[in-house]
Amino acid sequence: MIVGLIIACEVAFWVLLAAGLAFRYVFRMPRLGLALLLCEPLLELVLFAVTAIDLKNGAEPDWRHGLAAVYIGFTVGLGHSTVRWADARVAHRFAGGPPPVRPPEYGRARAVHEWKVAGRWTLAALVAVALLQAAAWYVGADGETGSLRAWQLRMLWVIGINLVIAGSYTLFPKAVPQAVPQAETKA
């Protein structure tokens, strides 16, 4: 049941995003579009409540409960940037907005961009770790929490990988390519 709800929440996230942006830009109803976009956090609250109720009713915590916590964490950490990304593209395509800003490719600007990305992923993973820890405390010492601890370890890997990627752009910045002078042609 939990996995089905996670899938339903993911589908509903994209449906609400598409509907919100369509009403905002295509149908020129920005308030209704904003209202639909603001409904998205309700999906995570429903998933959180159902997961807590499932555990309260005696379900043994397993990978599904861990996945629910990870999904909620990733939505908290990455959901807003995903909405901003889609909003910029739809505004450009349907409302004459400016072209979406591409991330910088070189030097310090790229390193700063990568640290911001790593920060969002780290926030997502930390929220997931906190929810997993809360679930472990909720189940108590008598319950089997091994699968929840395994998800926490995976989230620490997510943090580590993102920090390594951002750090690599800081330590080894990609240099701006030098313009190759063209040979003068004789007429």
Per-residue pLDDT reduced to its tens digit, 26-82:
999 999 999 999 999 999 999 999 999 998 888 889 999 999 999 999 999 999 999
- Residues, the chain: 187
Domain positions in the chain: 2-171
State the pLDDT confidence band at 187, using cuts at 50, 70 and 90: low
Q: Please report which residue ranges of 30-106 form alpha helices under DSSP H.
A: 30-38, 40-56, 63-95
d(CA 83, CA 10): 13
Q: Decide: 78 and 121 in contact? Cβ < 8 Å.
A: yes
Q: Which range among 4-18, 134-148, 173-187 shows the weakest confidence by mean pLDDT?
A: 173-187
d(CA 34, CA 24): 7
Q: Decide: 91 and 97 in contact? Cβ < 8 Å.
A: yes
pLDDT value for 1: 85
- Rg (the chain; Cα; Å): 22
| CB atoms inside a 10 Å sphere around CB 80 | 13
Q: Which tokens belong to 173?
A: 């910045």
Q: What is the mean pLDDT of residues 151-169?
A: 98
**Chain mean pLDDT for the chain:** 92
Largest CA distance in the chain: 88
Quote the DSSP letter at residue 1.
-
